[in-house]
Amino acid sequence: MLFAGVSLCQAGWLGDTLESAGKRLGNRAVNDAGNSAYDATKGGVRDAVKGEKGTTSKQSTQKGSDQQQDATDSPSSASSGNLSIEDAETVYTKFDFVPGEKMIFFDDFSDTDVGEFPRKWHLNGPKPGNNGAVEVVEYQGRRLLRNNPASKGQEQYPSVQYIRLNQKGDMPEKFTVEFDALLSNALKSNAKFANRYFLFLLGDKQGWPGTGAGHGKQAGKIQFSGEENISLNTSTKLTVQDEKIHHISVTINGTFVKAYVDGTRVINDPDGVKRPIRQIGVGMANIAGYQTDRMMFTNFRLAQGGKDIKSALDSDGKIITHGILFDTGKDLLKAESLPTLKMILGLLNDDSSLNFSIEGHTDNQGNRGINQPLSERRAKAVKAWLEGKGIDESRLKTAGFGDSKPIDSNKTTEGRANNRRVEFVKF
């Protein structure tokens, strides 16, 4: 069954459902090991403010220099944010997500005023004129894009937002999508009315998925919620309707789709999408139109998959990673770093003659006097982890360069994200 519980057709929107779940697509590309890593977060996003529970439309005060953190900082996550990397090695048994190498699109709405719609997105609803009211809000010290509740007695329409993407032809064979979404249940007593977030993948850019003329052809649609997670051929249950923000991550490799809520893999579908894919968007809906002010997301990241790490090492003499994450302003490794670290560890174990200089890099945001030593301490934290796994210290050395060696422009959010990285240079 394509959708369990309350169907989307019954909700009166997204009428153009995907083709039969029994149909299998060709040209499977199932090897995810080639994905290099990119930074999963953006600097300046502060952890959730303790004790702050509501949203506000008031303009936040200007950020001080102490808030301009290095963007290898990881967002807070309900189930993984307090998990140590040691615990993750036993808990994350199926968490093998490695972010793409090069950022294509990023938005955490930090440059959008509260109460406004972000300029890097289109707003196109499932039916003309039936889009939910959408604006940026402040919630727990962060900015999120929210589908606002309707007036009393009125239905709260779903919304569909598409990134302004100048994509020519098909998306890269391998790419990743990530965003943080608040998982909530509007009725509290009935799980089938939980907030739903849809990752839309379009095969053309002539319209938008839904009902009526002029809507685009779907290449794929993936549903996430605190109750069930659905792709073309899979449906899994995961009850996390806890009013907290969770990290959603998706790997697309050819037609193969893997997806995760925090550290739990919820989709593993070899034929989850069609090709080509030319446009990407996020839908927000609470099925049956129940009103809620807790339907929102942030930190949307789209990145291209890179070379196989062994190929990158052979051709470039180094591996550039963006999937090694730390707490804000600290050198403590986050649990989400584990897949990338395991790849590096595997190389070192397979080749006893291989030695690495571990080098930390930041963007140009914040205080250079803070960023440079922080990047050095973080490189040392990676070295310590590898040594703890049996790698001799003589095979590793560290360096921190702060923002002195950019590989992309620091004038855009995407460029700054590419500059925030950890490199493993062969010596």
Higher pLDDT, 343 or 81: 343
The stretch 79-108 carries a mean pLDDT of: 80
- Tell me which residue has tokens 């779940």: 21
pLDDT value of residue 347: 94
The stretch 157-168 carries a mean pLDDT of: 84
Lowest mean pLDDT among 80-84, 99-103, 161-165, 395-399: 80-84
pLDDT value of residue 189: 53
Percent of the chain with pLDDT over 70: 72
Confidence of residue 208 (pLDDT cuts 50, 70, 90): very low
The stretch 129-140 carries a mean pLDDT of: 82
Asked if residue 260 has pLDDT above 50, the reply is yes
Cα 102 to Cα 322: distance, rounded to the nearest angstrom? 9
Percent of the chain with pLDDT over 90: 43
> What is each CA distance from 253 to 31, 188, 341, 351, 394, in whole angstroms?
7, 37, 21, 28, 37
Asked if residue 43 has pLDDT above 80, the reply is no
The b-or-e profile of 23-46 (16+ CB within 10 A means b, else e) is eebeeeeeebebbbbbbbbbbbbb
φ/ψ of 419, rounded to 5, equals -75, -25
Confidence of residue 166 (pLDDT cuts 50, 70, 90): confident
Confidence of residue 5 (pLDDT cuts 50, 70, 90): very low
The stretch 120-134 carries a mean pLDDT of: 70
pLDDT value of residue 131: 63
The stretch 164-178 carries a mean pLDDT of: 89
pLDDT value of residue 409: 93
φ/ψ of 400, rounded to 5, equals -125, 125
Q: What is the DSSP string of 180-228?
A: EEEE-BSSSS-GGGBEEEEEEEES-SSS-SSSSTTPPPEEEEEEEESSE
pLDDT value of residue 9: 34
Cα 181 to Cα 305: distance, rounded to the nearest angstrom? 23
Q: In this structure, which CATH number among 2.40.37.10, 3.40.50.300, 2.60.120.560, 3.10.28.10 belongs to the domain 32-41+49-54+73-83+93-304?
A: 2.60.120.560
Asked if residue 190 has pLDDT above 70, the reply is no
pLDDT value of residue 151: 74
> What is each CA distance from 59 to 75, 110, 116, 250, in whole angstroms?
22, 11, 10, 32
- pLDDT averaged over every residue in the chain: 76
φ/ψ of 352, rounded to 5, equals -70, -15
Cα 78 to Cα 262: distance, rounded to the nearest angstrom? 8
Lowest mean pLDDT among 57-71, 304-318, 369-383: 57-71
Residue 213, exposed/middle/buried by CB under 10 A (0-12, 13-18, 19+)? exposed
Q: How far, in whole angstroms, is CA 340 from its chain's centroid?
A: 15
Confidence of residue 130 (pLDDT cuts 50, 70, 90): low
Domain ranges in the chain are: 32-41+49-54+73-83+93-304, 309-426
The neighbour count for residue 83, using CB atoms within 10 Å, is: 18
pLDDT value of residue 187: 59
Superfamily of domain 309-426, CATH level 4: OmpA-like domain (3.30.1330.60)
Asked if residue 215 has pLDDT above 60, the reply is no
pLDDT value of residue 13: 35
pLDDT value of residue 71: 36
Asked if residue 2 has pLDDT above 60, the reply is no
Confidence of residue 342 (pLDDT cuts 50, 70, 90): very high
- The pTM (predicted TM-score) of the whole model is 0.75
Higher pLDDT, 290 or 121: 121
Asked if residue 206 has pLDDT above 60, the reply is no
Lowest mean pLDDT among 23-32, 213-222, 243-252: 23-32
